[in-house]
Structure 1
């Protein structure tokens, strides 16, 4: 399911000053309820509900941004490892109806 922009979506209305990294298809920003210092979210700029709704070319841009975010977190926070995950559907723990990938540093 796609809408270019959803007026009720918190990720569609994110303040530009909160964006840490971005490319043509995706943006990354710190989670407001972080599991660990440096916890980032990578989201498509267009409104898609889950990972499996996203067009493959935008998924690739999200993965490219995820790799850039990992490099940034390595330099700033020096974690020992990472968790990468995406909740797909409310039953799986998805609380925001806009697809996103969590990049969580582990210390």
Structure 2
């Protein structure tokens, strides 16, 4: 555990709550994710309790615990928010958008009335603006 890591010590972020946990992992949500109509309504993170920077460091037991919480999280979100689909994923490293250096698995419910409904995680990568060699200001 790293004392100043908000995923090691979720209580550091007053807007974050532990929804449920098992031996190796926790399912966390920000309080505003429960509000209908908000961006990321129902979204949460599955995080290992022990500090691991990326999922490449997870043990088989932590992978199994993640799997178990994923199914529990889906049932929980489905019963409260009725999403039309899900995006699931890990960001690994700064260039991939990982802003907190503690492995965290995004559970992102999707809704048909969202502006970007129907666009999956590959939409960003396939966009013309993402061709390699272009700077962010091009």
Q: Same fold (TM over 0.5)?
A: yes
**Unaligned stretches of 5+ residues in structure 2:** 34-38, 112-138
Alignment of 1:11 with 2:7, yes or no, is yes
The aligned residue for residue 48 of structure 2 is 44
Moved over 2 A (4+): 31-35
Deviation at 1:32, TM superposition (A): 6.8
Contact 2:17–2:30 (CA under 8 A) maintained in structure 1 = no
Contact 1:84–1:101 (CA under 8 A) maintained in structure 2 = yes
SS in structure 1 of the partner of residue 26 of structure 2: strand
Distance 2:31 2:53 in 1: 19
The aligned residue for residue 127 of structure 2 is none
Please, which of 85, 92, 105 is the counterpart of residue 88 of structure 1?
92
Partner deviation per Cα, 1:59-94 (whole Å, 9 max, x = no partner): 110111011000100000000000000001111110
1:1-107 correspondence to structure 2 within 5 Å: 5-15=1-11, 18-31=17-30, 35-107=39-111
Q: State how many pairs are aligned.
A: 103
How high is the TM-score relative to the length of structure 2? Answer: 0.69
**CA 105–76 in structure 1, closer or farther in 2 if over 3 Å, else same:** same
**Unaligned stretches of 5+ residues in structure 1:** none
How high is the TM-score relative to the length of structure 1? Answer: 0.89
Deviation at 1:31, TM superposition (A): 4.1
Highest Rg: 1 or 2? 2
Distance 1:79 1:52 in 2: 29
**CA 61–38 in structure 1, closer or farther in 2 if over 3 Å, else same:** same
Contact 2:24–2:62 (CA under 8 A) maintained in structure 1 = yes
Query: Larger RCO: Structure 1 or Structure 2 (Cα < 8 Å, ≥ 6 residues apart)?
Result: 1
